[in-house]
Amino acid sequence: MKQIFELEGDYIELYKLLKLVGIAGSGGMAKAMIADGEVQVDDAVELRKRCKVQKGQVVSCGKEEIEIVTQGGR
């Protein structure tokens, strides 16, 4: 399932994104998913929990895909 996430600033940390969009039930769960290699940023496995995800990037986890855009547009 594809989702669109609108950034309020320049970036969001990866584990916070997973929590905000509902892929992970908590920050701890999000961090565990990242550590286990379940999360990709731009088709590459990302193991950094605080990776700064920015506009134009795509985060995927299982069947979930999140496109990052700025507020009010792409």
pLDDT tens column, 36-72: 999 999 999 999 999 999 999 999 999 999 999 987 6
What predicted TM-score, i.e. pTM, was given to this entire model? 0.92
pLDDT tens profile 10-32: 999 999 999 999 999 999 999 99
Please give the pLDDT value at position 73: 58
According to CATH, the superfamily of the domain at 2-70 is: RNA-binding S4 domain (3.10.290.10)
Domains of the chain by residue range: 2-70
The set of long-range contacts for 52-60, using a CB threshold of 8 Å and a minimum separation of 24, is 52/11, 52/12, 52/13, 52/14, 53/11, 53/12, 53/13, 53/14, 53/17, 54/7, 54/10, 54/11, 55/7, 59/14, 59/17, 59/18
